[in-house]
Chains A and B, each alone.
Chain A
């Protein structure tokens, strides 16, 4: 505060000035500012609410309840007629759930003749126990006749109950776990046999109709293939196209046409690219449906404009003096571009590429049309095998009714967001680190 302002204040007091509406104008100014703050807070609040609800719904998906049981690989159950030496298919078809059931009956101390109790046990362990035990026996048939501790997945409803997600005050008939099952669960919990473990299956399993044995393994591999294809195709083609347009193209009708096309393609709805993929790649060229390869091609076409626009901006940002210097020293135009301009523009190109890839990774709509909404249980070995993608897997789980699937879906969203966040942060760091102001 200076003398001048003091001075004006004193004088203002001495001579009351004409009211020119300053007060109202300043109030309007303050209101306007508040609108701005409100607008930004609305956006950020929504972001916060969305992230909080997703994380709070999904973080439990990273743990899964298992029951540790001493399984006795009883020869009488696995191979009652003793034919396994001559007919290996006996080991595949054996009644493995019975083994788990027997172990659970023994563990809980239930009378083996108590039929109603045994019936309630059916929904206790996951159906996945069959595959799990079969794999143990198939890997090492000498295990038959011995007893071994095995961690078996609990059924999805018991998993939810164990995590405290099922409201036990609801009457028994209207919830999915019975009082008897809860009692057993608490007993096993007290003994330490039933516990939560890190859910590695979420990252390795394929599609399954049972929540506890379904995971995103297939989707992660499918998305990975697609990202590799997009990177291998979109980056070279995009950079080549940008170099032509920025450095070589003469200003004429044809160049204008290309530019309008690229700008327009950047704003074309993504689902239209899906229609293109379905009509051209699958229907006309006869490529396989649901394959990551086709998905990669569609996403490449979708990502190209993004990469071209970013690359052109990066090339244009390199000052003309560099070009003149290279040409003046006798470089050809091609040498100037590839040996001088391109390396200087590389950080900008990389940033644009990563942002384009992140968009492609989160894209769902075009993939729905080329048949990636598929029930794929086995991981694809090549990009031509049926696969799904991360966002498509999320979409499929969103259409399931069971609450355990909602948990998995939220967990999958968290993983997808982590991937995207990592990519975006890499892009920002790259830009900060290597950005040059000329």
Chain B
């Protein structure tokens, strides 16, 4: 029985339990004893007892039976010998499993007259839209048939156990129903656990990110030493040096890190002055009417997906700057179509609303009294801003800039399109450089082999990026929080 069907039946049992429970509790309310909980809480308690344990069992059973099935197939496979046609044992098992999945699509008549050779079976399966790997062997067919039988038996047995537990849970809850039973407290306790579980997802995500990248990174460092990764100055993953043997390339982080920081720096040079000045203007000078128009427009700028910025950079701005520089020198262009300058400029514009909305919050958090005091002593508005408000807001603004820098470092689509793919080390902002994020995308799009350093390096890059932004974020969030507390 499929787990989806079991799930539906369990939920149906739960719903029946809900209605019976509610009905029972309502019928017991004869006005003599004051009930502790309202009738529907009894219903919900019955529902939860019928469904939750059963769901837990279902999950355990699904995982457990798939592990059991794997072992069963392992045991049934012939002993591996030197002339085994299939490369590895794991591949053997997975071939049997996909064959078994394919066999499920055949109708009963075909299954009864099962052909013994794969050559005969393949066209039958192909007619049902099942494509199988060509190295499936004849000996796998009986194993697959047997595996399907085992799976059916396991599924049936599991379904019975789960349904029995569901019905038992419902009965248990229904028998408990009496006017003074604390059904509401029970339900609410479970709800609280549910809420707590939801809030731990954030922690689980972080753990998932760190662990998944850490494992792959460790595997990567088995073939490339960390020294060569972190301090290597050449990025050439495909290059295999003479004598080094195998497909060893060079995975130097330095050119990528330099490109990342360079582009982020150009972006910040654009975004910080412009964003800060617009925030100041909006907070201190703009009339309510101007504010009501400009603020949504800037928010719109923030709402445009980064791919659009990237395409603007590569389709319009890049060629424009190239032609402009060619016209200026009268000959060859000194700005390339894809360059640090173009990518940084466009990224800077993308970051303007980020800087301005963060600093807007910070500037308006400076207490009114400080502003009024300065104005009252005869300072002009700009003097008040420059000498009182900005110094007072400085820690917050530094935090905001750090957050923006972390956005700039992690930005992907703009640099994928506009920065180029060549890992150069250059200080000329009009040439192309590449970044960590670009290389992650490059290494992971297309066909993947999960054991080659060419793929695994992306996870090492990702972990580096994560660590870099994590430090910046935590410092920035700490500063911003401290600053906010200061004036609260």
Task: Give the interface of A toward B (CB within 8 A).
Answer: 25-26, 28-29, 31-33, 35-40, 42-44, 46-47, 50, 53-54, 57, 236-238, 240-245, 248-249, 257-258, 260-265, 267-276, 278-280, 283-284, 301, 304-305, 308, 332-334, 358, 361-365, 368-369, 371, 373, 391, 394-395, 398, 406, 409, 413, 416-417, 420-421, 424, 428
Contact = CB atoms under 8 A, between A and B. Distances in A.
B445 A265 contact: no
Contacts of A276: 205, 208-209, 212-213
Contact of B307 (A32, A44, A394): A394
Given A276-B212, A364-B306, A43 B198 contact: no
A358 B299 CA distance: 13
Contacts of A373: 445
Contacts of B381: 29, 32
Given A53-B312, A265-B206, A245 B199 contact: yes
Nearest to A363: B305
A413 B202 contact: no
A364 B277 contact: no
A268 B209 contact: yes
B470 interface: yes
B445 A42 contact: no
A283 B450 contact: yes
A25 to B, nearest CB: 6
A51 to B, nearest CB: 9
A38 B465 CA distance: 34
A241 B311 contact: no
A365 B213 CA distance: 17
B213 A271 contact: no
Interface stretch (B68-76, B138-146, B402-410): B402-410
A280 B208 contact: yes
B11 interface: no
Contacts of B412: 269-271, 364-365
A24 B208 CA distance: 59
B212 A424 contact: no
Given A237-B201, A365-B441, A40 B294 contact: yes
Interface stretch (B22-30, B151-159, B278-286, B321-329): B278-286
B349 interface: yes
Interface stretch (B170-178, B189-197, B220-228, B229-237): B189-197
A117 B444 CA distance: 47
Contacts of B244: none
B205 A301 contact: yes
B45 to A, nearest CB: 14
Nearest to B192: A248
Interface in B19-50: none
A298 to B, nearest CB: 11
Contacts of A272: 209, 213, 410, 462, 465-466, 469
Contacts of A238: 198
B37 to A, nearest CB: 10
Contacts of A416: 305, 308
Contacts of B208: 276, 280
**Among B275, B308, B352, B458, residue most surrounded by chain A Cβ atoms (within 10 Å):** B308
A275 B462 contact: yes
Contact of B410 (A57, A269, A301): A269
Given A39-B277, A269-B437, A276-B205, A394 B311 contact: yes
Contacts, number: 252
B199 A40 contact: no
A39 B274 contact: yes
B440 interface: yes
Interface in B270-299: 273-278, 280-282, 285, 294, 296-299
A173 B317 CA distance: 29
Given A248-B192, A271-B412, A39 B209 contact: no
Contacts of B202: 241, 258, 261-262, 265, 304-305, 308
B4 interface: no
A424 B382 CA distance: 34
Contact of A33 (B285, B294, B474): B285
A296 B1 CA distance: 28
B444 A395 contact: no
Given A50-B308, A362-B307, A365-B412, A267 B278 contact: no
B383 interface: yes
B459 interface: yes
26 contacts: A25-B380, A28-B380, A31-B382, A32-B381, A32-B382, A33-B285, A36-B280, A37-B281, A43-B349, A44-B297, A257-B203, A258-B203, A265-B206, A267-B476, A268-B470, A271-B410, A280-B208, A364-B305, A364-B306, A365-B441, A369-B441, A395-B307, A416-B308, A420-B303, A420-B305, A424-B300
B216 A279 contact: yes
Contacts of A244: 192, 195-196, 198-199
Interface string B247-279: 000000000000000000000000001111110
Nearest to A273: B209
Contact of A40 (B278, B306, B473): B278
A38 B352 CA distance: 13
B89 interface: no
B300 A47 contact: yes
A285 to B, nearest CB: 11
Contacts of B462: 271-272, 275
B411 interface: yes
B413 interface: yes
A368 B413 CA distance: 10
A264 B381 CA distance: 36
Nearest to A416: B305
Nearest to B442: A368
B57 interface: no
B6 interface: no
A420 B301 CA distance: 12
B293 to A, nearest CB: 10
B304 interface: yes
B206 A413 contact: no
B312 A54 contact: yes
Contacts of A264: 206, 470, 473-474, 477
A268 B465 CA distance: 9
B12 to A, nearest CB: 21
B184 interface: yes
Contacts of A25: 380, 383
Nearest to A57: B315
B134 interface: no
**Among B202, B296, B305, B382, residue most surrounded by chain A Cβ atoms (within 10 Å):** B202
A44 B445 CA distance: 35
